[in-house]
Amino acid sequence: GAVVSQHPSWVICKSGTSVKIECRSLDFQATTMFWYRQFPKQSLMLMATSNEGSKATYEQGVEKDKFLINHASLTLSTLTVTSAHPEDSSFYICSASWRTGELFFGEGSRLTVL
């Protein structure tokens, strides 16, 4: 199957700093990538849909100025959490859609904001 790589796998930062998370499709071109957030013991909630070469589409309630998404190439999408605060601490997971419609997930990035 397709491989999606995400890093860093975990990051700890101070409140007010920015954190960038990278998501790469290693063996296929992903025109669309999705970013999810998962709080402890909860489900995966879609944050935004990232399309190569265009602006991301954010879900209702997700601050686009706080969660900056860039999809500069067919194999790379990045999520930057700007001015992070403790309430942003969560598990962030990217995914890319394979041509069959199956979704492949990255390993996830656990963000802890102190």
Partner 1 sequence: GENVEQHPSTLSVQEGDSAVIKCTYSDSASNYFPWYKQELGKRPQLIIDIRSNVGEKKDQRIAVTLNKTAKHFSLHITETQPEDSAVYFCAASRGFQKLVFGTGTRLLVSP
Point out which residues bind partner 1 (CB under 8 A): 32, 34, 42-46, 49, 91, 93, 95, 97, 101-103, 105-108, 110
For residue 64 the two structure tokens come to 């686009």
Least spacing, CB of residue 100 vs partner 1, in Å: 9
Least spacing, CB of residue 49 vs partner 1, in Å: 6
Residue number with CB closer to partner 1 (17 or 42): 42
Q: In what order do the strands lie in the sheet with 76-81?
A: 4-7, 19-25, 76-81, 67-73
Least spacing, CB of residue 114 vs partner 1, in Å: 19
Q: How far apart are CA 84 and CA 110, in angstroms?
A: 13
Residue number with CB closer to partner 1 (2 or 82): 2
Residue number with CB closer to partner 1 (51 or 82): 51
CB 26 within 8 A of CB 4: yes
Tokens 């700093």 found at: 17
Residue number with CB closer to partner 1 (28 or 105): 105
Q: How far apart are CA 45 and CA 69, in angstroms?
A: 16
Least spacing, CB of residue 58 vs partner 1, in Å: 12
For residue 56 the two structure tokens come to 């991301």
